[in-house]
Structure 1
Amino acid sequence: MFKILMSALTAMTISTLLILLCTIISKKSMMDREKMSPFECGFDPKSSARLPFSIQFFLIAVLFLIFDIEIAIILPMLITMKSSNIMNWSLVTCIFMMILILGLYYEWKTNMLEWT
């Protein structure tokens, strides 16, 4: 128990010191209108450089990421099936799959998967 506490304390101390060090030595720059505008060889920009982002594309990308991570979690579960209690393994797997299916059902019902 003492080793775990010391490891956690060491990790927190190092991360806090790094954050403080980066804050102290970081270059502060004044953000004015000229620096925030897009650069087009000194001319005024013809159109907005900040294009609107498609929220449907973002939602599909997040959905893909969630199911990609799901596969990365399920594959080790298949390997541990031989060395685990089959009832506990089945219960955990069913609960995990049920949570994912309910999340997909919720996205389907709220029309997050519609590309219109």
Structure 2
Amino acid sequence: MTGPKRWNRARLEAYECGIEPTPQPVGGGRFPVKYYLTAMLFIVFDIEIIFLYPWAVAFDHLGLFGLVEMVLFIVTVLIAYAYVWRRGGLEWD
């Protein structure tokens, strides 16, 4: 390394970036589990909705069987959504 060696408190910290570190909260700044559960719910519902695209593309080839299966799938998703909604899983506090 060439150049001046000016050591300060920020450079001596692990993973320094040249900015003075701010004090961490007592709990380590952790997020409540509710945030992670809400994020996982949105991911699950998004993945379930992704299944609608191949069905829409192949709708002509599936016929009545495909329609019945998709109606059952959508009803299952709506039941799960209603359950989560009634339990307060989508409320952002």
Normalising to structure 1: TM-score of the pair? 0.54
1:51-66 to structure 2, matched below 5 A, reads 51-66=29-44
1:79-90 to structure 2, matched below 5 A, reads 79-84=57-62, 86-90=63-67
What number of residue pairs does the alignment pair up?
Answer: 74
User: Is there any run of 5+ residues in structure 2 with no aligned partner, and where?
Assistant: 1-11, 15-22
Give a deviation string over 1:55-105, Cα, whole Å, max 9, x none: 222122112211221222110011111112x22111110111011101111
Query: Per the alignment, in what secondary structure is the counterpart of residue 115 of structure 1?
Result: coil
User: Is there any run of 5+ residues in structure 1 with no aligned partner, and where?
Assistant: 1-39
Does 1:69 pair with 2:47?
yes
Moved over 3 A (4+): 46-50
Question: What is the aligned-residue identity percentage?
Answer: 23
What's the RMSD between the two structures over aligned residues? 2.4
CA gap 1:94/1:114 in 2 versus in 1, 3 angstroms: same
Which structure has more relative contact order (CA 8 Å, sep 6+)? It is 1
Normalising to structure 2: TM-score of the pair? 0.65
More helix by share: 1
Give a deviation string over 1:7-27, Cα, whole Å, max 9, x none: xxxxxxxxxxxxxxxxxxxxx
* Offset at residue 49 of structure 1 (A): 7.3
